[in-house]
Structure 1
Amino acid sequence: MQGVFAEYERTKIVERTRRGKLYKARMGLLVWQGPPPYGYRIVRGPKGAPTTISIDEREAPWVRKMFEWVVEESLSARQVAKRLNRLGVAPRRAACWNQGSVQVMLRNPAYTGTAYYNRHESAEPGRRRNPAAYPRNWKSSRRMRPKEEWIPVPVPALVSSERQERALEEIRTHRWRFARNTLYPYLLRTLVVCGECGRRMCAMTPRSWWPHHTRGGREWYPYYECPTHKQSPEDTGHLTKCSSRRVRADRLDEVVWRSLGEFLQRPEVLKVEIAAYAEDRRSSARGEASEEKRLVERQRQLERQRARLVDAYQAGLLEVSELRQRGERLEIEQGEIRRREEELQALKASGARVEEIYQEVEVFCARLREGMDRL
């Protein structure tokens, strides 16, 4: 009997605590569970005063740098983690930075000035690790609540929402830009889009479980599949799973390849498309020219910083270790600037090549048809 009353009292305490936190969140007061994100710190006032969150001036510049590297230099989350480790930036808890921690930070809406409370709720897991064991907590998993139930809590912003959107878009492009699956030469890799949710479909090659009688083994079938079809909504950011079916890659590739051959039989249509692409490249070239000027100016600033470091070392204001560390940071940034300048030069050369193709589109189509016939 005492156990029943104790369990009832425990349930009442949990419910009162939950209602109190929801009330504080709706009043705009900070309700933070666990440590704050990297770049922030908790400020606890006197007794009775609300707890606030402020910017950590030691960590906040590195958060802004991470978004800048992704947006301006097109670095992936793995490359950002490697650069932070090379620069000697220590994370708050772990021994070093990794790809997962960087991706979580880039997706965190708190950096744009709005944190959310009541985003998740406890739930029973769909499949337990040990079904035979008696669970100490039945609701050991969690699931995302509908977005209408989220409670926004204002916090100091470190980056703008536009910069975060650009960073997330850049990270999404890194997921499909580089090929890793070589079991089947997918013709439309990174180009197929789901008709249900609009996400880019992934290439996969599952193996059939039934023996193939003609070959005496199991058969491999290439497919294009929506990534939200099997993943949980919490991982994809969607409230529900996508209901679209996967598509056989070999059949879709054949249809597109045949349509491409028919399209090349009409050079006048291709000429219109090339003209539109050339006009788009000319408009982009103006922005690339301004970026190139900015890179040149930044390179000059880094050279001046390097000269000032040498002067400070000669005057006895810097130790050798600090001079070496700062010099390595400057060298890394200068290397990234040189890499970006090479990319801009390659884009400029590709634009000139498009202009040449436009002048000889009939010859270009004939060469493509000959190459397609040999494949």
Structure 2
Amino acid sequence: MKQTAALYARVSTQRQEEEATIASQVAAIEEYATHEGYALRKDLYFLDEAVSGAKLDRPALDRLRDREGEGCYQVVICLSPDRLARVYMLQVLLLEEFRQAGIQMLFVNQPPVSDSPQSQLLFGIQGLFAEYERAVIAERMRRGRLHCARQGAMVNPKTPYGYDYVPKTGREGGRWEINAEEARVVRQIYAWYTQSEPMTIQEITDRLNRDGLQPRRGKCWRSSLIGNILRQTQYTGLAYYNRTEKVYHEVGRLRKIGHGKRLCPVSMLRPTEEWIAIPVPSILDKDIWRMAQERLKTNQRFSMRNNRNHRYLLRGLLICATCGHTLTARAGNGYFSYSCGYGGVHRAPDTPEHTCRIDGNTVETLVWNAVVELLKNPKLISQAWGCDEAANIEQGEKERLENRLRSLDRQQERLLDLYQDEQIEKPSYLVRKQRLDEEQKTFKRAFCKSSKRPSPNKSSRN
């Protein structure tokens, strides 16, 4: 009786799929199964199209592994080990999983993998070469893309709303062209958002839906889509390549904010000198775009979000002296306060545990009375308006800067201790140290400016 076999094939890119590379794999496996006397069933064809072999998260492979215990197949046939996985350790993991399930793994282009030392050595060498080949291909593609971007011959084929992508023809690289109808909508959105009586993002969304205009995808506009359009930097005529990079050393480590371990790599901005600027047709004037960004920042800081019951006078204005996070206003049982939510389990690993809570009625009364007194004395307002920006830092702000600088010094010491004790790796240490150094420079500059400010007593005597 013939053994039932499952077929697995994979291609890495859309181009390979279009060139029917996966069809050639299927044909080779079918020929091999017929010659060796295995029965193939169409419902046991598992094909991953345009999926990387460097990961196990693949739709067809997941379905193949899910049916291991059903007993519907006794053999899995694949063209070669690198089609099963590009990473040697993943190959070993899958083979061991199939072996424990009583399933034999066969490859068309090599003898069956047995438990003999020679067979295991050959399989290991082939797996390592497949992994090396993948690394070489990835590096060549990366360098090629960088070279094309520096020559201005490469832009992202996924264009933001307002542009169309024109594929490369001959020696000319691909380029973006303005979509006249979409560009008109983009300009209208920015005009509504930056006018003297600006509309909110939700009001813009409702207006576009009432006018019967449809987005590029979907049947109606959503506020998230409008927000994304308002944050696009390309509309001013300059797109950037090599702007971000994925950082993998944080995977598996505890999150700096929140619970659990990080499962995915972190996307971080590269240094600005590594960005590659690519000119594209401009849709907006730079001043209009900057106005929109300023309003987005203001709205993000002072947005009411889901708060409908309480109006806090100092919402978004108070900062924790220890960690620098904005204090959150909370109300309940007739009492409200401003408190820091990053002093306990949600704090960063290099931040000490702390508690910061201020009675809302007390601090709002103090601030309100101070503002009233200031408004009663026009001379103080005119003096403050004409002074340098650094002269506006009060004594309380100066104390906050001193506390924050001391906290950063302690964090630097703890971070160095962790590195010397080999509790963190060098890449993680360098990333955290760079972040702390940049923050220290910022606070030191602000502190120096505050120290040069003349004292209020001297100003009153003069």
TM-score interval for Structure 1 and Structure 2 normalised by the shorter chain: 0.5 to 0.7
Once the two structures are superposed, the pairs formed by residues 140-289 of structure 1 within 5 Å of their partners are 141-175=266-300, 176=302, 178=304, 180-181=306-307, 186-192=312-318, 201=326, 203-205=328-330, 222-223=338-339, 247-250=356-359, 254-258=362-366, 260-261=368-369, 270-272=376-378
TM-score of the aligned structures, taking structure 1 as reference length = 0.53
The size of the alignment, in residue pairs, is: 242
> Are the equivalent residues in 2 in contact too, given 1:119–1:147 (CA < 8 A)?
yes
In structure 2, the partner of 1:42 is: 165
Q: Does 1:97 align with 2:221?
A: yes
Supply the distance in 2 between the matched residues of 1:119 and 1:50 (Cα, whole angstroms). 20
Tell me the secondary structure at the aligned position of residue 164 of structure 2. strand
CA distance in 1, matches of 2:355, 2:286: 34
Q: By how many angstroms is 1:263 displaced?
A: 6.8
**C-alpha deviations, 1:233-254, integer Å up to 9, x for none?**
xxxxxxxx999x8852426x51
Amino-acid identity (%): 32
Q: Please tell me the residue identity of whatever aligns with 2:330.
A: T
Displacement of 1:140 after TM fit? 5.1
Q: CA 1:161/1:14 → structure 2, altered by over 3 Å: closer, same or farther? A: same
CA contact (8 A) 2:315 2:329 kept: no
Shift of 1:182: 6.0
How far residue 36 of structure 1 moved from its aligned partner, in angstroms, is: 0.6
Residues in 2 aligned to 1:183 and 1:192: alpha-carbon distance in whole angstroms: 20
Q: What is the CA distance between 1:97 and its match in structure 2?
A: 1.8
Tell me how far apart the structure 2 counterparts of residues 84 and 162 of structure 1 sit (CA, whole Å).
24
How many angstroms apart in 2 are the aligned matches of 1:260 and 1:139? 46
Aligned CA distance change for structure 1 residues 150 and 196 (closer, same or farther; 3 Å) = farther
Q: 2:194 maps to which residue? A: 71
In structure 2, which of residues 175, 193, 211 is the aligned counterpart of residue 87 of structure 1?
A: 211
Q: Is the aligned partner of 1:15 residue 2:139?
A: yes
Q: Structure with the greater relative contact order (CA < 8 A, sep ≥ 6): 1 or 2?
A: 1
What corresponds to 2:51 in structure 1?
Answer: none
Name the Cα RMSD after superposition. 4.2
Cα shift at 1:205: 3.4
CA contact (8 A) 1:113 1:157 kept: yes
Tell me which protein shows more helix as a share of its residues. 1
8 A Cα contact 2:240 2:278, kept in partner: yes
Are 1:111 and 1:158, in contact at CA under 8 Å, matched by a contact in 2?
yes
Q: Separation in 2 of the partners of 1:153 and 1:21?
A: 13
Candidates 176, 179, 189, aligned match of 1:56 = 179
Q: CA shift at 1:2, angstroms?
A: 2.1
- Listed one character per residue, the Cα deviations across residues 63-84 of structure 1 (whole Å, up to 9, x for unaligned) are 1111001001412222222222
Mapped to 2, the partners of 1:63 and 1:30 lie a distance apart of 24
Tell me, in whole angstroms, the C-alpha distance in 2 between the residues paired with 1:231 and 1:90: 43
Q: Which amino acid aligns with 1:10?
A: R
| Aligned position for 2:54 | none
Structure 2 counterparts to residues 350-361 of structure 1, below 5 A: none
Q: 1:47 to 1:261 in 2, by over 3 A?
A: closer
Q: Is the 8 A contact 1:183 1:205 kept in 2?
A: no
Matching of residue 116 in structure 1 with residue 240 in structure 2: yes
Paired amino acid for 1:100: S
Measure how far apart 1:157 and its partner are: 0.7
Mapped contact 1:123–1:140 kept (Cα < 8 A): yes
- Judged with a 3 Å threshold, the aligned counterparts in structure 2 of structure 1 residues 157 and 195 are, in CA distance, closer, same or farther, namely farther
* 1:204–1:225 Cα contact (<8 Å) kept: no
The offset of 1:156, in angstroms, is: 0.7
Question: SS of the counterpart of 2:181?
Answer: coil
Do 1:186 and 1:203's aligned partners in 2 also have CA atoms closer than 8 Å? no
| Counterpart for residue 210 of structure 1 | none
> 2:160 aligns to what SS in structure 1?
coil
Tell me, yes or no, if the aligned pair for 1:224 and 1:249 is still in contact at 8 Å. no
Q: Deviations over 1:145-181 (max 9, x none)?
A: 2333221111111112211111122233334154743
Q: 1:95 to 1:257 in 2, by over 3 A?
A: same
Instruction: Specify every segment of 5 or more residues in structure 2 that has no aligned partner in the other structure, as ranges.
Output: 1-124, 254-262, 386-462
- CA contact under 8 A between 2:242 and 2:275: conserved in structure 1? yes
Match of 1:4 among 105, 128, 146: 128
